[in-house]
Amino acid sequence: MTPQAKTAGWLVGVAVTMGALSFAAVPFYDWFCRVTGFAGTTSVAEAAPDTVLDREIAIRFDGSLEAGMPWKFHPQQTRMTLRIGENGLAFYEAYNPTDRVIAGTASYNVQPDLAGGYFTKIECFCFTEQVLQPGERVIMPVSFYVDPAIVDDAEAGLIQEITLSYTFHETPLPEEQAALDAPAPVQPVN
């Protein structure tokens, strides 16, 4: 084998490895954020813990829309106070003022970032795509708690207020819905 062929083979191997790593980066980053709470990523649980502390924490709610998303979207309450470990329930409202069906998906974040690993959702509208008919208004719940382990964290234990933010993004309609909304085929005139 010539030196050029060895070099070419080595470069192809590096390129293939780099490509494989780039595909693995997104799921790995998602897993890392969910496990560590990095970048304000929240956890998910089946139910609130049995332990509820006497210490209270304020939760602030925020809602926004991606540029071009025609819905109206906001939290029904802007703030609540609950005990750490207590199950909280908040509601957001979405309204489709247009004359067309629109699908949307909510991305979310918790601030400060340090609180992300301790803010746990039980049920959330952000877990699934939402489809609103023309003129439809929906009230969407989010059930959550702040993990009591937050008080054992030297830095996160100092947090007094957590902000839960959602941003809705327009997404393509599910196939079934898109088929229903497609214009009827034009019948030829005989």
pLDDT in tens, 83-104: 999 999 999 999 999 999 999 9
- Among 68-82, 93-107, 170-184, the minimum mean pLDDT is found in 170-184
Q: Cβ neighbours of residue 102 under 8 Å, at least 6 residues apart?
A: 69, 70, 71, 96, 131, 132, 170, 173
Cα 100 to the chain's mean position, in Å?
A: 24
- Residue 136: partners with Cβ closer than 8 Å, 6 or more residues away: 95, 96
Was domain 39-178 assigned CATH 2.60.370.10?
Answer: yes
Domain limits, the chain: 1-36, 39-178
Q: How confident is the model at residue 11 (pLDDT cuts 50, 70, 90)?
A: confident
3-state helix, strand, coil split of the chain in percent (to 5) is 30, 35, 35
Cis geometry, peptide bond prior to residue 148 (ω within 30 degrees of 0): no
pLDDT in tens, 100-155: 999 999 999 999 999 999 999 999 999 999 999 999 999 999 999 999 999 999 99
Reading the block at residue 138, the tokens are: 């929906």
